Amino acid sequence: MKYERQGVLAVRPTAFGEFFSPAVSRDNIQLEDATVVRISGPLTQAADVPWLDSYDAVAARTKAALEGPAATVILRINSPGGDAQGAFDCARALREMTLASGKRLIAYVDEACSAAYALASAASEICCSQTALLGSIGVLMSRLDCTAQDAMRGLRVALVTSGVRKADGHPDSPVTDGELAAMQQVVDYIAEQFFVTVQELRPGLQAARMQAMQAGVYAGQQAVAVGLADRVCAFEQSLVMTPLASKEGGSVDLATLMQTLAECVESGDEGLAKAARAALGAIAATEDVPAEEPKPEAEPEEPAAEGGTDEPKAEDEQDKPKAAAELAVAKAQIEKLRLLAKRSDLPEKLRTTLEAQPLEQVQALLAAMPIATKKPPVVTTVKATLPATKKPAELDGEARRRMDAAMGLAQHGKRVNKVVSGRLYLNVPENWTPRRIG
């Protein structure tokens, strides 16, 4: 069961030869106030193989999610890409149906390469895991030439065509320079449509910038740095994140943050300075910070008409979105405090400054700031020197004999072999005689 498809493909090239088993289920999942639409495996225009997902099915599942009660729809994508045909139309359709619904569409990426990235660009925000793969923005075509194999087998294949280019791509015809040039024109044209589509859906990512990537693949924070994703986070965090334009009730004081980071660079702590420089680099790589829109002044309430009645039910309905927004802000604040609590290496001033920043900015900066490790204190090892022990004096000959005698080791007199009453006794004292017992 290998993914071996022909034609114009928008797929991560290394996906060829991989095994893809049929998905257990791609049904939408309801989590908190979000509906998760899963996009997994290689992509094709219409479902024709069990282990392939299709653009038609993705659009249908997303449409069903947008028509449901959830205020947010999350595209959870784990795909190397697939067929170019249908991918760009599907991406535009996802954006159009989202705008028509008035709901929020975000993408959470485990892998979104090539055509799968086109689908991710339909979302207003792209989040990814630390090891996610994104990119490979481009298309490819393959051409198999079996003429040498045919000759080895003694086969002669004749192709009768109505045009010079009609046999292009046929495995039993030799590859020519003219055919490759024609294929390159098709590839370049469709790649241009790819760039235009993503730029249309994700204006911050320009076509020239994508072309300069040369269809490269980027992982996690690298993808954020080049503009392919907005932030790195765990999937569970994407469920409670506020939109990028939201300020969580506060304002982004970028100047104060950069000043605090600059002070950390000059702190003299080598590890902290390195982390602060990385954070400043991450801020410099950010293109634009969306400005806050002025809040409209509250209109004065008109007095109720005489005889009119209040409608508490309608007011309750209006309060629900406000309550949901306040809950999302509270969850984001809790998550921000949890992340900062893990970074005991940060000085108090920087920690206080970060507490006033939006969650997504805190996450991006902490991800760019490696944990500052302090050098361990130098430990001087002192080797204890024991006093030399006095060697015991040697015993003289007479003293050694007395000690041997006391320990029963001394041999008194001459020892001989003796025969007594017809029995031979070996190594006994010369004056020894056997004693009868009993």
Per-residue pLDDT of 286-337, as tens digits, reads 544 443 444 444 454 555 444 444 555 555 555 666 566 666 666 777 777 7
Burial of 41 (0-12, 13-18, 19+ CB in 10 A): buried
Distance CA 109, CA 232 (A): 10
- The first and second tokens of residue 60, run together, are 């249908």
- Positions in the chain short of pLDDT 70: 1-6, 16-25, 48-50, 239-259, 268-269, 271-272, 275, 282-330, 370-398, 401, 404-413, 436-438
pTM of the model: 0.54
Q: Is 435 helix (H, G, I), strand (E, B) or coil?
A: coil
Residue 401 is predicted with a pLDDT of 67
Distance CA 44, CA 42 (A): 7
Edge-to-edge strand order for the sheet containing 81-83? 9-11, 81-83, 43-44, 53-54
Domains and CATH numbers, the chain: 9-140+188-238 (3.90.226.10), 246-287+329-373 (no CATH)
For 359, phi then psi, to 5°, come to -60, -45
The three-point CA angle 321-103-101 to 5° equals 120
The type of residue at 430 is E
Closest CA to 264 of 352, 154, 358: 352
Half-sphere exposure at residue 205, Cβ-oriented, CA atoms within 13 angstroms: 31
Taking only the tens place, the pLDDT of each residue in 405-433 is: 666 565 556 777 777 777 777 777 777 77
Residue 345 is predicted with a pLDDT of 75
Kindly write down the DSSP assignment for every residue of 215-270, as one continuous string: T-EEETHHHHHTTS-SEE--HHHHTTPPPTT--TTS---HHHHHHHHHHHHTTS-H
Q: DSSP character for 41?
A: S
Residue 41 is predicted with a pLDDT of 86
- The Cβ of residue 281 has, within 10 Å, a number of other Cβ atoms equal to 12
